[in-house]
Amino acid sequence: MQAVLRAGSVVAGYRLLRIIGQGTQSTVFLAEREADAQAVALKLISLAGTDESARLAFLNYAAAARRLVHPGIVAVLAAGVEGALGWLAMEPVPGASLDRYTRPSRLLPALLVLRVAEAVALALAYAHRQGVVHRDIKPANVLAHWPSDTVKLADFGLARVADAAQTATGLVLGSPGYMAPEQLAGGVPTPASDFYALGATLFQLLAGRLPHEAQALGELLRRVASEPAPDLRTLQPGVPAPLAALVARLLAKNPSERPADGDALVQALRAAQADCGAKSRRPRHRARE
The residues that are catalytic are 136
Residue 20 phi, psi (nearest 5) = -120, -5
From the number of C-beta atoms within 10 Å of its C-beta (0-12, 13-18, 19+), residue 108 rates as: middle
Gyration radius from the chain CA atoms: 20
Distances (CA, A) of 141 to 49, 137, 175, 203, 272: 26, 6, 11, 15, 23
Q: With beta carbons less than 8 A apart as the criterion, state whether 107 and 146 touch.
A: no
CA geometry: angle at 141 spanning 261 and 109, to 5°? 80
How far, in Å, CA of 232 to CA of 208, rounded?
11
The 3-state DSSP class for residue 48 equals: coil
Expressed in angstroms, the distance from the first to the final Cα of the chain is 72
Q: With beta carbons less than 8 A apart as the criterion, state whether 76 and 153 touch.
A: no
